[in-house]
Chains A and B, each alone.
Chain A
Amino acid sequence: MHASWTQKYRPRHLSEVAGNKDSILTLREWFTSWSSSPPKKKGALLYGPAGTGKTVTAEAASRDLGFDLVEMNASDKRSTASVERVVGTAAQQGSLTAGKRLILLDEVDGIDPSTDRGAVEAMASAIERTIWPVVLTANDPWDPRLSALRNVCLMIQFKRLGLRDSVPYLKRICLSENIEVEEKALRFIVERDEGDMRSILNDLETLSAGTRTLTYDNVTWLGHRDRKENIFEVLGSIFNAKTCMWAKKAAGLADVDQEMLFEWIYENAPTQIEDPKDRARALEALAKADLFMARIRRTQDWGLLSYAIDLMTAGVAMSREHAKTGWVKMRFPERLKLKAKARRQKALKIAIGRKIASKCHTSTNSAIKYYLPYVKQMLEKESKTAEELVRWLDLDEEMTESITLGVAKSKRP
């Protein structure tokens, strides 16, 4: 049977777990303290982002220290009764084989308050009564609903894996898979997956399928493709969101910054939302988001950012009253590239205005407004007087070109 790399290379022993050495040491000491009598805190809550080795550490610890593992995770039903049945009994009775037991409550922050009512309290009470060590894991331990558990648990933090811990580990895996890999490629994957070992291994396995060598180039190529797919998915979720939370959550998944996200939404909103009234509302929400961002730029008050994001995501999503008629391709926001050009054009225009102003006893603004439209037409036709005018106004070649270019183009139908 083919086993995925996350299974195949799952650490069996604490010594094999990559990174978080201090956290593992703390956990080991806590287990050791059970040998005489139960410690004050009978639970240990391992918390940290996904893929940092929380569950793996608990499993490896049970194996290393000779415990039988009794596990309950998010996929199990967690009503008070079932928690009491599994945890309560396991916590009090000796194992049939008379061995030591370790109770693992995985992903406790995944408890759904509507179906698992009382589950947290049941767990906390079981932990207080237990004669066996209880290990819990969570991504976000600061959820208010988990406060009862925090009181009875030793808190042990697991951090994202850095390059120093993960790269040598991955190199060993590649070696045993007989794959030649550039260190740069590994570093790229680790950074892209933000030290989430599960994702890293999955990506590495996917990338090396059917190849013996892995270079930086073939890794980054896939990375970019992933990113693009991601933004399209995010945009789709925002434009089709039925609730504000949905739209806001989708935005949170985008791996672009808020300015780029705004550009993507702004570019595509008019094609995705076709009804004129809906579209007007959507663009008004974007215009208001833009206004907030202008205030942020001016005041550096980043606290306002969340309102800008509300408007550009939920505001756009809630503008839609009429259903979408069909699938429309998304456009890449070209505007950013053009913006630099626009700045250059504007600067040039002001420079021209200044030249005219200095000769005609007027201001730069008035020169642009009252003289430039006529100067344009005077320079349009090549003649001696046009040349004289250019000389008199002291316009350089770039200025002259930009003036006449505008005229030539505005003749288009």
Chain B
Amino acid sequence: MWSEKYRPQLLKEIKNQTDIVERLQLFVKTRSMPHCLFAGPPGTGKTTASLCLARELFGERYMDAYMELNASDARGIDVVRTTVKEFARISTISRVPFKLLVLDEADNMTADAQQALRRTMERYAETCRFVLSCNYSGRIIEPIQSRCALFRFTRLKEEDVLSHLEMIGKKENTKYEIQGLKAVVSASEGDVRRAINTFQAAASFGKKVDEQTVFQVIGRAKPQDVVEILSLALKNKFIESRDRLRNLLIEYGISGQDVIKQLHSEVFRMDLPEAKKIEIAEAIGDADFRLAQGADEEVQLSALLAQIASKFREK
């Protein structure tokens, strides 16, 4: 993946986040740092910054003193606690007196898990520094926030993303039109990772990357089926609509929650009185909540479709 191949190796290569980079370089210089909280939208360099920080702190063999854990993968705080214990127990013989543990997607942890994490952070503070990364710092409990230095990552400027893509295009010997790259950039909304992935997918078609191929990639990366399922339901072709839904859930393994998110964004584009849109939004929220309670995806979603169709007819 190009997004890995061209991930910045050094702090100074990180674009846009100059204030952050300066302070992280200071940590390297003084060989000391507090616990950190990296907050910001996806693809703005949080993971890259912690990788670069580790590499500059610990040198090329940084992997001995660096560990990445994913809060949404490492199920439960118990896993985190035992892993952290194992990791922090053995101190390094390097010139830096601590190890670095990155906990990604920390805002996906429950409040209880965060409380437990806070105790773990305190217990191993001497031998281990934590970098928590998250999209929304507001979802991190106060006590953890107060123990961390907060770094806010902002979306990259379009020209920075563009110059990064151009650099990649040259190194990969990819033929492209500047209009194509511009289309990639504007669709990625400052998310470098998405921009690079889109670029690489477009390049894999084997043709010159122009606007058309880019739009094709972007269109296909979004599941179109939800729109079709919805429009079938609105045309009162309910059985066809449900069969398509069944197909989507089973053949493609799309999660019910993803379908719900899509429906939610579609509803506000529908030709409906505004008040009805809110009613539908509430019904969607109900369905989302029920799925979280372990209800059956197809049953809940088809009931939702029937409800939307019924409201659409009474407009």
Report A's interface with B, CB cutoff 8 A: 266, 270-271, 276-277, 279-280, 282-284, 286-287, 290-291, 294-295, 297-298, 335, 338-339, 341-342, 345-346, 348-349, 354, 357, 359-366, 370-371, 373-378, 380-381, 383, 385-386, 389, 392-393, 406-407, 409-410
Query: Pick the contact of A297 from B47, B70, B201, B294 — CB < 8 Å?
Result: B294
B300 CB to nearest chain A CB (Å)? 5
Are B221 and A270 in touch, CB under 8 angstroms? Answer: no
Query: Pick the contact of A290 from B51, B221, B296 — CB < 8 Å?
Result: B296
Kindly state the separation between the CA atoms of A385 and B174 in the bound complex, as whole angstroms: 13
Whether B139 sits at the interface, judged by CB under 8 Å, is no
Instruction: Tell me which of A341, A361, A386 has the highest count of chain B C-beta atoms within 10 A of its own C-beta.
Output: A361
Tell me if B's interface is mostly helix, strand, loop or mixed. Answer: helix
Instruction: Tell me which of A338, A371, A374, A378 has the highest count of chain B C-beta atoms within 10 A of its own C-beta.
Output: A374
B contact residues around A385 at 8 Å (CB): 204
B contact residues around A297 at 8 Å (CB): 294
CB-contacts of B282-309 with A (<8 A): 287, 290, 293-296, 298-300, 302-304, 306-307, 309
Are B204 and A277 in touch, CB under 8 angstroms? Answer: no
Kindly state the separation between the CA atoms of A315 and B266 in the bound complex, as whole angstroms: 30
Whether B90 sits at the interface, judged by CB under 8 Å, is no
- Binary interface profile of B, 44-88, with partner A (CB < 8 Å = 1, else 0)? 000100010000000000000000101111000000000000000
Please give me the residue from chain A that is nearest to B202 by CB atom.
Answer: A377
Report B's interface with A, CB cutoff 8 A: 1, 3-4, 42-43, 47, 51, 68, 70-73, 104-105, 193-194, 197-198, 200-201, 204-206, 217, 220-225, 236, 238-239, 242, 246, 249-253, 255, 287, 290, 293-296, 298-300, 302-304, 306-307, 309-311, 313-314
Query: Pick the contact of B306 from A270, A339, A386 — CB < 8 Å?
Result: A270
Are A270 and B239 in touch, CB under 8 angstroms? Answer: yes
Please give me the residue from chain A that is nearest to B196 by CB atom.
Answer: A374
B206 CB to nearest chain A CB (Å)? 6
A contact residues around B253 at 8 Å (CB): 342, 345-346, 348-349
Are B72 and A374 in touch, CB under 8 angstroms? Answer: no
Please give me the residue from chain B that is nearest to A282 by CB atom.
Answer: B306
B contact residues around A298 at 8 Å (CB): 293-294
Q: A284-B303, A374-B221, A410-B225 are in contact. Are A294 and B236 (CB under 8 A)?
A: no
A186 CB to nearest chain B CB (Å)? 41
- Having A294-B293, A376-B220, one finds 5 other A-B pairs with CB under 8 Å, namely A280-B307, A345-B251, A361-B68, A363-B73, A386-B204
Query: Pick the contact of B3 from A294, A348, A360 — CB < 8 Å?
Result: A360
Kindly state the separation between the CA atoms of A363 and B300 in the bound complex, as whole angstroms: 28
Query: Pick the contact of B220 from A270, A279, A410 — CB < 8 Å?
Result: A410
A contact residues around B104 at 8 Å (CB): 361-363
Please give me the residue from chain A that is nearest to B283 by CB atom.
Answer: A284
B264 CB to nearest chain A CB (Å)? 16
Kindly state the separation between the CA atoms of A295 and B292 in the bound complex, as whole angstroms: 11
Nearest 7 A/B pairs, CB to CB: A287-B303, A345-B253, A280-B310, A373-B221, A283-B303, A374-B197, A363-B70
The 24 listed contacts between A and B (C-beta, < 8 Å) are A270-B239, A271-B239, A276-B238, A280-B310, A282-B306, A283-B307, A284-B303, A286-B299, A287-B303, A294-B295, A338-B246, A342-B249, A342-B250, A348-B253, A354-B73, A363-B105, A376-B220, A378-B200, A378-B201, A386-B204, A389-B1, A406-B251, A409-B252, A410-B223
A contact residues around B309 at 8 Å (CB): 276, 279-280
Please give me the residue from chain A that is nearest to B50 by CB atom.
Answer: A361
A contact residues around B295 at 8 Å (CB): 287, 290-291, 294
B contact residues around A284 at 8 Å (CB): 303, 306-307
Q: A363-B105, A366-B105, A373-B221 are in contact. Are A279 and B238 (CB under 8 A)?
A: yes
Are B198 and A374 in touch, CB under 8 angstroms? Answer: yes
Kindly state the separation between the CA atoms of A307 and B273 in the bound complex, as whole angstroms: 35
Are B73 and A277 in touch, CB under 8 angstroms? Answer: no
Query: Pick the contact of A279 from B71, B221, B306 — CB < 8 Å?
Result: B306
Are A276 and B197 in touch, CB under 8 angstroms? Answer: no
Kindly state the separation between the CA atoms of A341 and B250 in the bound complex, as whole angstroms: 7
A contact residues around B73 at 8 Å (CB): 354, 357, 363-365
Are A381 and B205 in touch, CB under 8 angstroms? Answer: yes
Query: Pick the contact of B250 from A282, A291, A345, A410 — CB < 8 Å?
Result: A345
Kindly state the separation between the CA atoms of A376 and B222 in the bound complex, as whole angstroms: 12
Kindly state the separation between the CA atoms of A280 and B234 in the bound complex, as whole angstroms: 12
Are A290 and B250 in touch, CB under 8 angstroms? Answer: no
Are B197 and A370 in touch, CB under 8 angstroms? Answer: yes
B contact residues around A406 at 8 Å (CB): 251-252
Q: A270-B239, A357-B73, A359-B1 are in contact. Are A283 and B306 (CB under 8 A)?
A: yes
B76 CB to nearest chain A CB (Å)? 15
Query: Pick the contact of B246 from A280, A287, A335, A362 — CB < 8 Å?
Result: A335
Are A409 and B72 in touch, CB under 8 angstroms? Answer: no
Are A280 and B306 in touch, CB under 8 angstroms? Answer: yes
Query: Pick the contact of B217 from A357, A374, A409 — CB < 8 Å?
Result: A374
Query: Pick the contact of A345 from B42, B252, B307 — CB < 8 Å?
Result: B252
Kindly state the separation between the CA atoms of A165 and B194 in the bound complex, as whole angstroms: 74
Please give me the residue from chain A that is nearest to B228 by CB atom.
Answer: A413
Kindly state the separation between the CA atoms of A27 and B205 in the bound complex, as whole angstroms: 89
Kindly state the separation between the CA atoms of A240 and B204 in the bound complex, as whole angstroms: 57
Query: Pick the contact of B293 from A295, A345, A389 — CB < 8 Å?
Result: A295
Are B299 and A290 in touch, CB under 8 angstroms? Answer: yes
Kindly state the separation between the CA atoms of A148 and B282 in the bound complex, as whole angstroms: 56
Please give me the residue from chain A that is nearest to B225 by CB atom.
Answer: A410
Kindly state the separation between the CA atoms of A378 and B206 in the bound complex, as whole angstroms: 10
A377 CB to nearest chain B CB (Å)? 4
Kindly state the separation between the CA atoms of A93 and B31 in the bound complex, as whole angstroms: 115
Kindly state the separation between the CA atoms of A271 and B250 in the bound complex, as whole angstroms: 22
Q: A361-B68, A409-B251 are in contact. Are A377 and B299 (CB under 8 A)?
A: no
Are B204 and A378 in touch, CB under 8 angstroms? Answer: yes
Are A360 and B4 in touch, CB under 8 angstroms? Answer: yes
